[in-house]
Amino acid sequence: MADLAQILTRLIEHKFEFVIVGGYAALGHGSTYMTFDVDVCAPCEMSDLPNLARLHAALVDLHPMHRMVPYDRPFVFPPRTVEETGNIYLKTDLGQIDVLGKIELGDFTFVLDHSVVLTLPFGTCRVLDCPTLIRSKKTTARPKDLLVAEQLAAILEAQQPPPP
């Protein structure tokens, strides 16, 4: 059974630099839609080896395996090739995690600039802010993402102070 919150707890404990994006970010902003993986945006290129080392340390005992490859291949540090950086799609003993170097709206710097710090049940971390998350969901335009965007827009509207 997936324990996505435990994956995020491990990332925080190992001081991995990331911003939660995707379904878990939506949950952090009050969405009720379920998610079946963790999506984070992080510095994860060959030039970001210290951050990749922290990611590896957080996950190594969970038997992380690359999942978007034609054959099973463990997630190792240091990366063997540049193809093992950038966007890293992993399955672990606790569930799936997608570590993205960028999202459809921009790179990690953009995501970091459009994030907020939230305290969630598993710890305090950065999460894509609600307006940007709505834009992201609308940009991907998958049916579930559009439903989540609609719900987040309603949550955001409900949080606005009443007009004078």
Report whether pLDDT(1) > 50.
no
Amino acid 162: pLDDT: 79
Report whether pLDDT(82) > 80.
no
Q: How many whole angstroms separate alpha carbon 81 and alpha carbon 135?
A: 33
Q: What residue ranges in the chain does DSSP mark as E strands?
A: 19-21, 37-41, 65-66, 73-74, 87-92, 95-100, 102-103, 106-107, 115-120, 123-128
Judged by DSSP in three states, 27 sits in: helix
Domains of the chain, first to last = 4-158 (3.30.460)
Q: How many whole angstroms separate alpha carbon 104 and alpha carbon 119?
A: 26
For the residues 27-55, what does the mean pLDDT come to? 93
To which residue do tokens 């009050």 refer? 30
Beta bridge mates, 41:
19, 100
Residue 25 pLDDT level (bands cut at 50, 70, 90): very high
Q: Name the CA dihedral angle for 38, 39, 45, 51, rounded to a multiple of 10 degrees.
A: -50
Q: What are the tens digits of pLDDT across the range 100-148? A: 999 999 999 999 999 999 999 889 999 999 999 999 999 999 999 999 9
| Average model confidence (pLDDT) across the chain | 92
Q: How many whole angstroms separate alpha carbon 137 and alpha carbon 118?
A: 20
Q: How many whole angstroms separate alpha carbon 45 and alpha carbon 52?
A: 8
